[in-house]
Amino acid sequence: MENLLSNVNGLSEELSIVDNYIDKFLHTERDAGTVDNVFSSVRNSRGKMIRPQLLLLAARFGPHYQDRQRNLCKLGAMVEIVHMASLIHDDIIDDSPLRRSRPTLQHKYGKDMAVVAGDFMISRVLRYLAEEQLMQEALNIGRTIEEMCRGELRQMACRWDTKTTIDAYLRNIHGKTVALFVEAVQMGARGSGASADLSDCLTAIGEHVGYMFQMRDDLLDFISAEDAEGKPVHRDFADGIYTLPVLYAFGQPSCGPRLEEIAGSEPASPGYGGLLREMGELVRQSGGIDFCRRQIENHAAQAKQQIAALPDHEARLGLGNLIDYLNQ
Amino acid sequence: MENLLSNVNGLSEELSIVDNYIDKFLHTERDAGTVDNVFSSVRNSRGKMIRPQLLLLAARFGPHYQDRQRNLCKLGAMVEIVHMASLIHDDIIDDSPLRRSRPTLQHKYGKDMAVVAGDFMISRVLRYLAEEQLMQEALNIGRTIEEMCRGELRQMACRWDTKTTIDAYLRNIHGKTVALFVEAVQMGARGSGASADLSDCLTAIGEHVGYMFQMRDDLLDFISAEDAEGKPVHRDFADGIYTLPVLYAFGQPSCGPRLEEIAGSEPASPGYGGLLREMGELVRQSGGIDFCRRQIENHAAQAKQQIAALPDHEARLGLGNLIDYLNQ
């Protein structure tokens, strides 16, 4: 990811600044022992920083990008912290033992610590938004976290429901994932003083990237070999979370009924591993994986159209590379 | 509680306004079904609103109390929402089936929902602080939530540790409970334009009330009959959370060693109920309960001294009644 975007002038330097702000915003010094261990685990759980990158790329199209660079990096750090906090709380929900091939916080320190660690991160976002007098951003981040909660709750409500529609799925992932991508892009656009038209165009790109990102994640969970992404395969299915390839397959007469049978099986039963493999094969045969790929391609094509409508700037290349990366 | 304070002119009316703001701040309309059910459960989990009452009583000593009344009620609502969110996340940590004699959110909908519901509430506090342009309050609430997280983490680190000192206990409950009481009082003082001296005096009262409140809670968990407060008795001890009466008793040569033995027993073992009863008896004999009561009385006496130093105002009576109620 970092290599991909290194061709955009100055972006890696900005990401280092974002990184420093994340450290600053999550810095704790008063405690020793367990408390501090938890917080360092939090600080070290950083990912690919796709959201800050998107924010900074979007910001390059605004007239005030240069003089607001530091501020934009701060916003990038806040978006990433919101994302990190949501991962920690999601892992409690999913009971995940691994994230990015490393033990999750809740696996390492227990659910209790994970609940508090996520809350701590949000308290820091709140505090620094206030310290930096970022009222409008506070409002938007508040709304985005609410969207994320809604998405998470809706997804829970759809759990084990084999009749979940693809529309419901799209609504769920909009809250769960897309909303924060959109917020990142809009922060970049607003923060650099982009015009309303430009901001709309960038928002659309952020939305497509968000959908692509989540669908790709669903696809990887589905097709990758065990542990390739540091996650067990078909974990979503076993948890009753039916992602796009599966939902498509449920609707196919050739395999839908058998898939529903498998979905009704007890995950703790001895033959369940075999059933999961059968499920994987059925979904593939039904065209569910191809369907998911096509959706990703559609979003990629639409995003590229929007990118083409942006003013000529090397950041367009960066956005294009991001799209290609997610469309691999 | 409400009866106790009804002698303070206008306070019940203000609490109704606070109540309406809580409804407004937590209002959701877009979702139907489970999502909305969770949010109404959240709205209905309101308690005695001690923190908003303290905020509003403190505010009466400031010169701008009258013209900032609405704003103060909004702040009261936010403090109560932070408190409600912390209860929901604490219940996940404590695995409590009951709170105020009603099933906890996590017991009713599972831990997953409870994590998200708490996050949703905090997102609303963030959003409305921003909408109301309450920068300074956002900063302070951010810091207070952080304090609460620290207290919670420290308490977890002390779990099952029979060598926990009373100082460590006091530090833990400062974060867990006292910090939000102090914040409530300070919001009232600042919000009504109280002088620095007055604010210091009110802060000290808030601090004493916070300690009294938590110690009384610990005492009730210890001495009340099963379900009298809607909570099982000695639950804290069985969870490895050693409160003031127990910590005092651990330090007494007459019963410390036996108590440590009991603390080391498996809570799932068949004779554990009997061991808990023995523990209760030993703590009582050691003077642990009396010690806890004396601490509460000390805080009450100090709070009353501070109240006596406040300007003559009927709100002094309200604060005095609150102290008497917690010192029963």
The mean per-residue pLDDT over the stretch B253-277 comes to: 91
The mean per-residue pLDDT over the stretch B292-308 comes to: 97
pLDDT of A305 > 90? The answer is: yes
Assigned token pair, B275: 């061991």
**Rounded Cα–Cα distance for residues B169 and A51 (Å):** 41
pLDDT of B142 > 50? The answer is: yes
Q: What are phi and psi of A103, to 5 degrees?
A: -60, 140
Q: How far is B133 from chain A (nearest CA, A)?
A: 7
pLDDT of A244 > 90? The answer is: yes
Q: How far is B237 from chain A (nearest CA, A)?
A: 17
ipTM for the assembly: 0.84
Residue to substitute from B30, B126, B128, interface A, most A β-carbons within 10 A: B126
pLDDT (tens digit, 9 = 90+) per residue, A134-164? 989 999 999 999 999 989 888 888 989 999 9
Q: By the 8 A CB rule, do A90 and A105 touch?
A: no
Which A positions 15-34 lie with beta carbon below 8 A of chain B?
30-31, 33-34
> Is A119 part of the contact surface with chain B (CB cutoff 8 Å)?
yes
Residue to substitute from B41, B90, B127, interface A, most A β-carbons within 10 A: B127
Q: By the 8 A CB rule, do A185 and A155 touch?
A: no
> Is A66 part of the contact surface with chain B (CB cutoff 8 Å)?
no
- Answer yes or no: do B35 and A153 touch at CB < 8 A: yes
Please state whether B104 falls in left (phi above 0), alpha (psi between -120 and 50) or beta. beta
Whole-number average pLDDT of chain A: 87
How many pairs of residues across A and B have Cβ atoms under 8 Å apart?
157
Length of chain A: 328
CA angle A36, A41, A42 (to 5 degrees): 95
pLDDT of B243 > 70? The answer is: yes
- pTM of the predicted protein model: 0.88
> Is A122 part of the contact surface with chain B (CB cutoff 8 Å)?
yes
User: For residue A72, which of A14, A30, A116 has the smallest C-alpha distance?
Assistant: A14
Hey, which residues does B98 pair with through a beta bridge?
A: B103
Terminal-residue alpha carbon distance, chain B:
12
pLDDT of A132 > 80? The answer is: yes
> Is B176 part of the contact surface with chain A (CB cutoff 8 Å)?
no
pLDDT (tens digit, 9 = 90+) per residue, B31-81? 555 666 767 776 676 678 999 999 999 999 999 999 999 999 999 999 999
Q: By the 8 A CB rule, do B144 and B191 touch?
A: no
From start to end of A131-238, where are the E strands? none
| Burial class of residue B248, CB neighbours in 10 A (0-12, 13-18, 19+) | buried
Task: Collapse the DSSP code of B102 into the 3-class scheme (helix H, G, I; strand E, B; otherwise coil) and give the result.
Answer: strand
pLDDT (tens digit, 9 = 90+) per residue, A62-120? 999 999 999 999 999 999 999 999 988 887 766 665 555 556 666 656 677 888 889 99
B99, containing H or E segment: strand B98-99
Task: Collapse the DSSP code of B103 into the 3-class scheme (helix H, G, I; strand E, B; otherwise coil) and give the result.
Answer: strand
- Pick A258 or A108 by higher pLDDT: A258
Residue carrying the six token digits 């796009």: A244
Q: By the 8 A CB rule, do A54 and A185 touch?
A: yes
The mean per-residue pLDDT over the stretch B10-19 comes to: 92
Assigned token pair, B103: 């099933």
- Pick A9 or A225 by higher pLDDT: A9
Amino acid A247 reads L
Q: What are phi and psi of B98, to 5 degrees?
A: -130, 150
Residues of A in contact with B112 (CB under 8 A): 92-93, 152, 156
**Rounded Cα–Cα distance for residues B310 and B316 (Å):** 7
Report the residue from B120, B133, B153 with minimal CB separation from A146.
Answer: B120
pLDDT (tens digit, 9 = 90+) per residue, A188-221? 999 999 999 999 999 999 999 999 999 998 888 7
pLDDT of B2 > 60? The answer is: no
Q: What are phi and psi of A164, to 5 degrees?
A: -55, 130
Report the residue from B127, B143, B146 with minimal CB separation from A142.
Answer: B127
> C-alpha A119: how far from its chain's center?
19
Q: By the 8 A CB rule, do B212 and B299 touch?
A: yes
**Rounded Cα–Cα distance for residues A140 and B178 (Å):** 30
